Structure 1
């Protein structure tokens, strides 16, 4: 499988992440503008600790369920598949990553065994995941491409299309080389959140009113805007509660510049392989910066 070129954001449309300041304009927009050069790299050993941090962020309170060191090592064992995104050169830590693992190929790896068991448990908990539950229960398990991807907060979503586009190219090259990346489905693990009342701002500790029948459920938000597009192409998708509840006050620690706290949850999106390329194209169109 051929090694792809390293990319800089000058090679793709980034919608303002690399625009020069106009010191003479004096506009308010320029005050908030930050010049950042994003670069795309193949995963390498230097990324081990950075990948563990991003994997811990992806799995949130359930990260303790998995050997993240082993999972990072598995991602790094296929360096020509997937991407890391950096701003300070190849030797720096990744700000984002994307990789795919063949659940069937690695089914005997202890960390993948743990992941499959975890996914089976979540998939069997909701009727909406019936198709996924059936695939995960096959013996041997179906050739599902498990997509793992995460990025630090406030990283622009425009970095996402190049990662997925390169992944499709790399999978095609791998299949030509008879490598085990001919998937039947792709399963994306992601995250959602709900806004919850902040305990820090409560003026008293009066008990909340009991929820009545017909009361509206809290709105669910996506951490990653591309998930909205992927869900349109999905065979099934939905959210799930983490096995390990957050610690007291954790929602306030995640509330980042807003009055309400944040309660995260997991998300699964299952896409049939023949529909994945079209889904990636729609993500690219959706996240294209405005002209």
Structure 2
């Protein structure tokens, strides 16, 4: 298992729910505004998944698959078992930190918390493994109900062709972590896959599947529907899809990890979108995401 990867700084906004007495004072108004929009500087870093990350990774997978009939414990074991492939997001260990700072951050997060997972699992290899079999079945079932017959046929042909090597990109994280962290994660993942593919054919992917989380504000009157992606970078990734399929998961009580992902999501319907990408798109994925986020 490789060591820690470079740190990635990110800001996490924290709402201050305390009330203040009303005074006719500009200084007081400024203080209240500052409290309500307080930013806490938190350092994150990535490293390869380890056994101690099991419960954190499984929790993140649960947020993605909800009530799907997939052995997530077995899938988590497969993620951890991959040598030097994928990253978990963890809080960096500060070199020097005041006790007061420790107390503030302890209220927000627990030690050893896994804040995200970005990895790829081969679903063409070891098809007899229960979780892989269930995952493939889940994808085809949802694609059947959420897309047109032509797109479904393309997906089936890709999955059934024994010459293809299909991977599923799992890209899950806490909802309040900025999308910019995905750039170094994708860069690292591509390098790891490239190095591994020189030794093992199971990493020479021809296609990449991914299941995207988003919420939809349904159309009302003349106002069209509007989609909001849980992971902002996945909006641009979807544009490169060969085919895509979407389905509502409203009945499965979808909630965000560590709090609501928007202030008021009462009018939003949770969805999933299955996308199929040519593996060549993965080469420039980090650059594509970087350009999109800088716009």
Q: TM-score, normalised by structure 1?
A: 0.76
1:6 paired to 2:5: yes
Secondary structure class of the residue paired with 1:9: strand
Contact in 2 for aligned 1:229/1:279 (Cα 8 Å):
no
Structure 1 consecutive aligned stretches of length 4 or more whose deviation exceeds 6 Å: none
How far the C-alpha of 1:106 sits from its partner, in A, is 2.6
Counterpart mapping for 1:183-262 below 5 A = 183-195=205-217, 218-242=225-249, 245-246=251-252, 256-258=262-264, 260-262=266-268
Task: Report how many residues are paired.
Answer: 256
Aligned mates of 1:166, 1:236 — CA distance in 2? 26
Contact in 1 for aligned 2:140/2:156 (Cα 8 Å):
yes
List gaps (5 residues or longer) in structure 1: 18-25, 198-210
Change (3 A) 1:196 1:232: closer
Change (3 A) 1:188 1:278: same
Contact in 2 for aligned 1:158/1:287 (Cα 8 Å):
yes
1:43 paired to 2:66: no
How far the C-alpha of 1:216 sits from its partner, in A, is 5.9
- CA deviation profile, 1:116-157 (whole Å, cap 9, x unmatched): 011111223311444223212x15483111111211121111
Aligned mates of 1:234, 1:156 — CA distance in 2? 23
Aligned mates of 1:246, 1:133 — CA distance in 2? 26
Change (3 A) 1:86 1:241: same
How far the C-alpha of 1:75 sits from its partner, in A, is 0.5
Counterpart mapping for 1:94-113 below 5 A = 94-113=114-133
Secondary structure class of the residue paired with 2:251: coil
1:73 paired to 2:94: no
Contact in 1 for aligned 2:175/2:231 (Cα 8 Å):
no
Contact in 2 for aligned 1:255/1:262 (Cα 8 Å):
no
Aligned mates of 1:47, 1:174 — CA distance in 2? 22
RMSD between aligned alpha carbons? 3.3
1:180 paired to 2:202: yes
When you count strand as a share of all residues, which structure comes out higher? Answer: 2
Change (3 A) 1:55 1:3: same
Secondary structure class of the residue paired with 1:258: coil
List gaps (5 residues or longer) in structure 2: 13-29, 94-110
Aligned mates of 2:270, 2:3 — CA distance in 1? 35
Contact in 1 for aligned 2:143/2:246 (Cα 8 Å):
no
Aligned mates of 1:170, 1:68 — CA distance in 2? 23
Contact in 2 for aligned 1:196/1:260 (Cα 8 Å):
no
Aligned mates of 2:157, 2:169 — CA distance in 1? 19
Could you tell me which residue of structure 2 aligns to residue 54 of structure 1? 60
Contact in 1 for aligned 2:2/2:47 (Cα 8 Å):
no
Secondary structure class of the residue paired with 2:40: coil
Aligned mates of 1:250, 1:3 — CA distance in 2? 33
1:122 paired to 2:142: yes
Aligned mates of 1:131, 1:95 — CA distance in 2? 35
